[in-house]
Structure 1
C-alpha cells in the first residue's frame, strides 16, 4: 500500500481549532459566535462594506451571512442600508454599539494573541502568517 500525503486541509482545520481554543472563551463571554466576531472585526478594520464583499472577506457563505447580519442587526451591532440607486446593493457598517463591542474585546483578544505568540514563538508566528498569505494567493 502506498503512503498517502498528509492532508493539508485537515491539518489547517486542526490548527484553526487549536488557535480558536484561545479565543472561544472570550467570544462566549460576549455572547458572540466566531462568524459574528469576524464580521465585527472586518468592519472595524475596513469600514462599511457591501454585504457580498463582507461575506467573501469573512469566509461566510452568502446565505449564512444573511442570518449572521440579521442577528447582529437585531442586537444593534451593525446597520444595513440599501442604496437609493440600486436596492439590490446592501452596505453594512458597525453601529456605535458595534464599535463599543469591538473595543471591549480588543484587550482580551490581543492578550490571547500574545499567549499564542509566547508558546509558538514570534518568528514562527510571523513566518506562518506569511506562508498562509502566500497560500491564499495560489489559484487552482
Structure 2
C-alpha cells in the first residue's frame, strides 16, 4: 500500500476517499448504504468521508426524487477528474503487485480477502485499488 498511499498523498485524498470515488465512478449514483458495502466501510465512517468529499466538490448529494427519505450520492465532475488523472497510476501499481505475486497467488489473495470480509460480517468484496 505504500506506493498507493504516496500517490494519494500527492492527490490530497485518503485511501478511503479514493475507494468511495472509485465506487461512484464505476457504479454511478447510489445510496450511502451501498457505497459503504462496495467500499468496505462502516456507515458512520462513510458519513464523515462524504462530508469531506462534498466540501471539496468531489461528490454531490441530493434527495431521491422517488423517496425523499433517501439520499443519493454521485461523483462530481471534479471527482471524476481526480479518478481520470490517477487511475493509470493506480492500475500500474496494482499490476506490479499482481506481477510480483503471480496471477494465481494474486487471485488467491483476493479470494482470501473476500472470505475474511464476509466472515467479519461486512458485505464487501476485495477490489483493485
TM-score, normalisation: structure 2:
0.82
Per-residue deviation at 1:66?
A: 1.4
Q: Does 1:114 align with 2:92?
A: no
Check if 1:46 corresponds to 2:27: yes
Structure 2: which 5+ residue stretches go unaligned? 122-129
Q: Give the distance between the partners of 1:27 and 1:63, measured in 2 at CA.
A: 22
2: CA distance, partners of 1:27 / 1:47: 22
Equivalent residue number for residue 56 of structure 1: 37
Greater Cα offset, 85-94 or 130-139:
130-139
Matched, 1:132 2:113: yes
* Equivalence for 1:10: none
Number of aligned positions between the proteins: 121
Which structure has the larger Rg over C-alpha atoms?
A: 1
Alignment of 1:1-140 (within 5 A): 20-137=1-118
Structure 1: unaligned runs, 5 residues or longer:
1-19
In the TM superposition, residue 45 of structure 1 has moved relative to its aligned partner by 1.4
Whole-Å separation in 1 of the counterparts to 2:40 and 2:111: 19
Three-state SS of the structure 2 residue aligned to 1:49 is coil
Relative to structure 1, the CA distance from residue 27 to residue 82 in structure 2 (aligned partners, 3 Å threshold; closer, same or farther) is same
TM-score, reference length from structure 1: 0.76
Question: How far did residue 42 of structure 1 move?
Answer: 0.6
Deviation at 1:21, TM superposition (A): 1.8
RMSD: 1.9
Distance 1:86 1:41 in 2: 25
Alignment CA distance shift 1:139-1:99 (3 Å): closer
